[in-house]
Amino acid sequence: MRDVYDAVVIGGGHNGLVTGFYLARAGMRCVVVERRDILGGACNTEEFAPGFRASTGAYVLSMLREAIWRDMRLVRRGVNVDPAGPTLNISPDGARYLVGDDTAANIEETKRFSPSDANALERFEGDLARMVKGVVPAFDWIAPDLGLSSVRDLRELARWGRLGFRQRRTIADLAYLFSTSATQYLSEYFSSPYVLAAFGWHAINDSAVGPSTPGTAYVLLHDHASEAADGAVRQWGFVRGGMGVVTELMGEAAREAGCEIRMNAEVEQILTRGGAATGVRLTSGEEIMARRVVSNADPKRTFLRLTDPADLPETFVTRIEAYRSMGTSMKINLGVAGLPALTGDADDVVQPYHRGIMELNPFIPDMDDQQAQATRGMAADPSHIELCFPTVHDPGLAPEGKHIVTIDVNSQPYTLRDQAWDDIKEGRADRAVGAIAEHFPTLPAMIEHRQVLSPLDLERRIGLTGGHALHGDMAPDQLLFLRPTRGWADHTTPIRELYLCGAGTHPGGGVTGANGRNAARVILRRAKRGKV
């Protein structure tokens, strides 16, 4: 008789590990299968050159849910987060705008650009913080099916309705935020192009649309959710040992709960019989049978590559095909001989900006133009660039006295119109480093090692369809009960006993773990009711 698991989870990213942990803790015999030889998915730490270790995906931690911290005992296991320093915004003309956690200091800094913007800053932060309190609790809830196909849907919808009633004074503001553009929303508070760019760049992260596109203002809310001070989330920062420590210790917790984890086990196909998932076939040919299958892969990979189209309704397949998940970021990791500083500052002396994130910010109209280039299949040059120095927080990520620089270049589309990423990525990285060197002049001479990952490389390496780190655009029509598509936002799928637990479900991307925990709750509830 063939051995049958209660559940097989596809993918050892953080959401897959969270799902496996909760299922195993509840008594299910569970196995997580991971295609690579390391855990983490897009939450990892890898050696890219001898002695130099960096993330090839997420590089800061912020919104990991408190229940997961507690249940997986991550602090006790050794997850330590060093709070990030202020964000330094650098404009094309060299102007610098430093924004941190000190409201009074931020107001004084903003006065250099616009006294009226400085007066509006505290109101802006307060308005977003108020809306965050109305949204963050819903991260831990199952998205309702508005078709009300079950009593559970009615209960879930009522729960959301109660939240809306409690936050009724902000409903109109939330509705406006979800429908308008980042540019429009920010323009109600600010007028300085420097201030607008400093807050507006968030709208182009992992998306192909510009900040002036309707629906992008929501990103401002999602970003501020990582800074909430109400106990719902922790301050964002750098993990000691790199982001891979989080998933390594999640794996430890899952194993202790009884979950088996298999590495170098790539899934080729999800097996079905009679319209229900029955297990998976690995690329090695081995079949792992299970009463249910949980996919931490993105929706496109799950339904367009791992399942037989004959098992899915045609309308569902066309909606998944239309689901937007084109990545637009190129990652660069540098191993450098020292700590480069901005023009006018001494090298190898830690400055406040070294402890945070640095943004090379185009102005808003230029961001719109660069994103428009990306939608037309052109790798924008110049473009918005983000960089940080994780070794300032954790010197152990590099050989003694040396550092790593992690760089994110935006407006670099996965789908190029008339070029190939393998042909252009090194040249594009050269120009990105050159753009940084205009402000950090000693950087090029310090570079000893370089890793360049195009959106295509991110797909190949981490398994992200289209190179999209969030498993799909975080836009109003791909959020809440619409993620990944209407009618299937509760982690179930048209194939019985096939579930989704990754970032392509509510509440979306980011290292929250909420997707995996919510999926486990749905699975356990259905199992308890005998829906097997």
Contact 192, 162 (CB under 8 A): no
Q: Is 179 helix (H, G, I), strand (E, B) or coil?
A: helix
- 49, containing H or E segment: strand 46-49
Question: 494 is written with which tokens?
Answer: 């048209």
C-alpha to C-alpha distances, 97 to 127, 211, 220, nearest whole angstrom: 22, 19, 18
Per-residue pLDDT, 160:
62
Question: Nearest Cα to 4, choosing from 188, 268, 278?
Answer: 278
pLDDT of residue 518: 97
Distance in angstroms (rounded) separating the CA atoms of residues 489 and 472 = 14
**SS3 assignment, position 456:** helix
> Which candidate, 109, 100, 18, 114, places its Cα nearest to that of 67?
18
For residue 333, the cross-strand partners are 406, 451
Report how far residue 511's alpha carbon sits from residue 242's, in angstroms, rounded to the nearest whole number. Answer: 13
Rg, Å, the chain Cα set: 23
Cross-strand pairs, 488: none
Beta bridge partners of 225: none
User: Residue 143 has what pLDDT?
Assistant: 83
Q: What is the pLDDT along the chain (532 residues), one digit of tens a residue?
A: 468 999 999 999 999 999 999 999 999 999 999 999 999 999 999 999 999 999 999 999 988 999 999 999 999 999 999 999 999 999 999 999 999 989 999 999 999 999 999 999 999 999 998 888 878 888 888 887 666 566 666 666 666 666 655 666 677 888 898 899 999 999 999 999 999 999 999 888 888 999 999 999 988 886 665 544 444 345 689 999 999 999 999 999 999 999 999 999 999 999 999 999 999 999 999 999 999 999 999 999 999 999 999 999 999 999 999 999 999 999 999 999 999 999 999 999 999 999 999 999 999 999 999 999 999 999 999 999 999 999 999 999 999 999 999 999 999 999 999 999 999 999 999 999 999 999 999 999 999 999 999 999 999 999 999 999 999 999 999 998 999 999 999 999 999 999 999 999 999 999 999 999 999 999 999 998 775 4
Stated pTM of the model: 0.94
Confidence (pLDDT) at 228: 43
